[in-house]
């Protein structure tokens, strides 16, 4: 791979490039080092999110030639343009680095063809930054995770997010999917086994008894966007086989259809199960695991990154304290939070803070104001196995009833949220941290008309 993509010596190049790209805020990093100090230049080189990096090579001194030859290494995914107006520098650089020397006109054509794509990326970056601002935590593992998420949005391969319940898998999936307008969530543990195929891939009219109309599956709903397969470890084996085929061939076949349909969907899967264990127990297909695990993300439990607790707690205080009612944590309260093991992870911390704000007057929160279930370590372990067994038994006997109850609850919750936002679906989507289109899709799927919900 060449060190730089384009190189020019036209004197008007720098101002011209800026002119052409002026409509594309923040997509371009223009680097003009103010000194020829190697560490400063190396620092400036780290621009992982800029799709176009423009380098003024006149500012490089001969002693930085080594750094110059490593431009590509610092910005592997960017298009690197460089210019050097001084004849000596031009000769020196062109003999070593360039791949293509372009005239200004050729450069203009090339850049113009990229502009609309850049606008899309720019918009995605804005949403991405907004979503990343909700991903709180300075611990090493969070910093590492943020970098991985940034890298993952530049690619299209499947992502597999693993981690305990409540660690933020859903939040991470949404951040990765910020480049897409569509984000369809599938909770694999909530779909009855017999309905899996038609939910995911759809069916034709009359495909089976009761199929009175054609139904578009969730994969087709997500076409051109991203699909989030949450709790993928709960997907039945026969659906796993179908999913594998979709990933391999990029096509689906609705039940009853005699033709396949091409789909282009970014797959993001998540689970709190240990998939290797599931593979050993023959509940999860190994081939599917490898297909999904192209970009792996492991989220650490909160007990392993206790240094994030203070920031997270303050973040939830800011989020949930009513306007004009300031709260802060006392040192004892913080210590109490740090001494707990958080089996329910960030969701448990979020609940503790919400509860405290609800039952305490504004001011300094003491340790007593924080009601933490100190037995939750044990009870969580007991709960998870007992709960799984109970759900399994329930699934077998009366799943439909259980699912109807769940859907009713969701309908009421969404209606109330939209009403609390004065009927604005956009605002409700923002509060729910959902994409607006996804919220519309969800309302339609639940049989709710937006007008009825708003009134």
Ligand X SMILES: Nc1ncnc2c1ncn2[C@@H]1O[C@H](COP(=O)(O)OP(=O)(O)OP(=O)(O)O)[C@@H](O)[C@H]1O
Site residues (vs ligand X, CB under 6 A) = 134-137, 163, 165-171, 272, 312, 315, 346-347, 350
Question: Of 51 and 343, which CB lies nearer to ligand X in the complex structure?
Answer: 343
CB 241 within 8 A of CB 133: no
Closest distance to ligand X from the beta carbon of 133 (Å): 9
Closest distance to ligand X from the beta carbon of 389 (Å): 18
Question: Of 214 and 430, which CB lies nearer to ligand X in the complex structure?
Answer: 430
Closest distance to ligand X from the beta carbon of 186 (Å): 12
Distances from the Cα of 80 to the Cα of 179, 379, 398, angstroms: 22, 55, 60
State the sign of the Cα–Cα–Cα–Cα dihedral 290, 347, 383, 300. positive
Closest distance to ligand X from the beta carbon of 39 (Å): 31
CB 262 within 8 A of CB 250: yes
Question: Of 44 and 136, which CB lies nearer to ligand X in the complex structure?
Answer: 136
> Residue written as tokens 């026969």?
238
Closest distance to ligand X from the beta carbon of 163 (Å): 6
Question: Of 31 and 266, which CB lies nearer to ligand X in the complex structure?
Answer: 266
> Residue written as tokens 């943020």?
146
Question: Of 118 and 295, which CB lies nearer to ligand X in the complex structure?
Answer: 295
| CA-CA-CA-CA dihedral for 35, 37, 43, 46, to nearest 10 | 80
Question: Of 132 and 364, which CB lies nearer to ligand X in the complex structure?
Answer: 132
Beta-carbon count within 10 A of 72 CB:
15
Question: Of 60 and 315, which CB lies nearer to ligand X in the complex structure?
Answer: 315
Beta bridge partners of 228: 185, 268
Question: Of 163 and 202, which CB lies nearer to ligand X in the complex structure?
Answer: 163
Closest distance to ligand X from the beta carbon of 231 (Å): 7
Nearest-Å Rg of the Cα atoms of the chain is 26
Closest distance to ligand X from the beta carbon of 447 (Å): 25
List all residues 6 or more positions away from 385 whose beta carbon is below 8 Å from its beta carbon: none
List all residues 6 or more positions away from 219 whose beta carbon is below 8 Å from its beta carbon: 200, 201, 202, 227, 246, 252, 263, 265
> Residue written as tokens 């091409």?
262
Closest distance to ligand X from the beta carbon of 111 (Å): 37
Question: Of 158 and 163, which CB lies nearer to ligand X in the complex structure?
Answer: 163
CB 343 within 8 A of CB 373: no
Could you give the residue ranges of the DSSP H alpha helices within 208-295?
218-221, 237-249, 275-280, 286-292
DSSP secondary structure letters along 318-329: HHHSPTT--EEE
Dist CA 60 CA 65 (whole Å): 8
Closest distance to ligand X from the beta carbon of 415 (Å): 21
Beta bridge partners of 161: 270, 297
Can you give 230-254 as a three-state secondary structure string? Answer: ECHHHCCHHHHHHHHHHHHHCEECC
- Residue number with the shortest CB distance to ligand X? 168
CB 52 within 8 A of CB 118: yes
Classify 412 as helix, strand or coil: helix
Question: Of 166 and 254, which CB lies nearer to ligand X in the complex structure?
Answer: 166
Closest distance to ligand X from the beta carbon of 38 (Å): 35
């Amino acid at each position: 791979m060449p060190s730089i993509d384009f190189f020019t010596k036209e004197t008007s190049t720098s101002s011209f490039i800026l002119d052409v790209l002026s409509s594309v805020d923040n997509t371009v990093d223009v680097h003009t080092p103010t000194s020829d100090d190697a560490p400063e230049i190396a620092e400036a080189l780290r621009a992982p999110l800029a799709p176009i990096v423009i380098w003024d090579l006149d500012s490089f001194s001969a002693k930085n030639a080594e750094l110059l030859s490593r431009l590509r290494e610092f910005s592997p995914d960017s298009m690197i343009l460089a210019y050097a107006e001084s004849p000596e520098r031009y000769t020196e650089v062109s003999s070593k680095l360039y791949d293509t020397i372009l005239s200004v006109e050729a450069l203009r054509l090339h850049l113009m063809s990229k502009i609309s794509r850049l606008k899309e990326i720019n918009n995605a970056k804005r949403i991405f930054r907004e979503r990343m601002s909700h991903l709180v935590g300075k611990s090493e593992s969070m910093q590492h995770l943020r970098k991985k998420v940034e890298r993952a949005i530049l690619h299209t391969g499947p992502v597999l997010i693993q981690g305990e319940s409540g660690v933020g898998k859903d939040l991470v999936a949404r951040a990765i999917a910020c480049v897409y307008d569509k984000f369809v969530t599938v909770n694999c543990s909530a779909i009855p086994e017999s309905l899996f195929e038609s939910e995911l891939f759809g069916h034709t009219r009359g495909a089976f008894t009761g199929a009175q109309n054609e139904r578009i599956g969730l994969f087709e709903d997500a076409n051109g966007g991203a699909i989030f397969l949450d709790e993928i470890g709960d997907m039945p084996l026969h659906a796993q086989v179908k999913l594998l085929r979709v990933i391999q061939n990029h096509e689906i076949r609705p039940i009853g259809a005699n033709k396949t349909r091409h789909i282009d969907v970014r797959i993001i899967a998540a689970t709190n199960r240990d998939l290797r264990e599931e593979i050993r127990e023959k509940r999860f297909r190994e081939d599917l695991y490898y297909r999904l695990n192209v970009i792996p993300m492991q989220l650490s439990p909160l007990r392993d990154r206790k240094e994030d607790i203070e920031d997270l707690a303050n973040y939830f205080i800011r989020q949930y304290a009513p306007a004009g009612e300031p709260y802060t944590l006392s040192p004892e309260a913080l210590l109490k939070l740090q001494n707990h093991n958080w089996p329910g992870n960030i969701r448990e911390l979020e609940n503790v803070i919400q509860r405290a704000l609800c039952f305490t007057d504004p001011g300094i929160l003491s340790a007593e104001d924080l009601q933490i279930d100190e037995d939750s370590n044990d009870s969580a372990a007991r709960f998870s196995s007992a709960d799984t067994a109970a759900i399994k038994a329930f699934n077998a006997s009366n799943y439909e009833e259980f699912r109807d109850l769940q859907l009713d609850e969701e309908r009421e919750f969404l209606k109330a949220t939209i009403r609390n936002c004065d009927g604005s679906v956009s605002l409700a989507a923002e509060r729910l941290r959902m994409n607006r289109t996804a919220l519309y899709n969800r309302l339609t799927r639940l049989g709710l008309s937006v007008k009825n919900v708003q009134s």
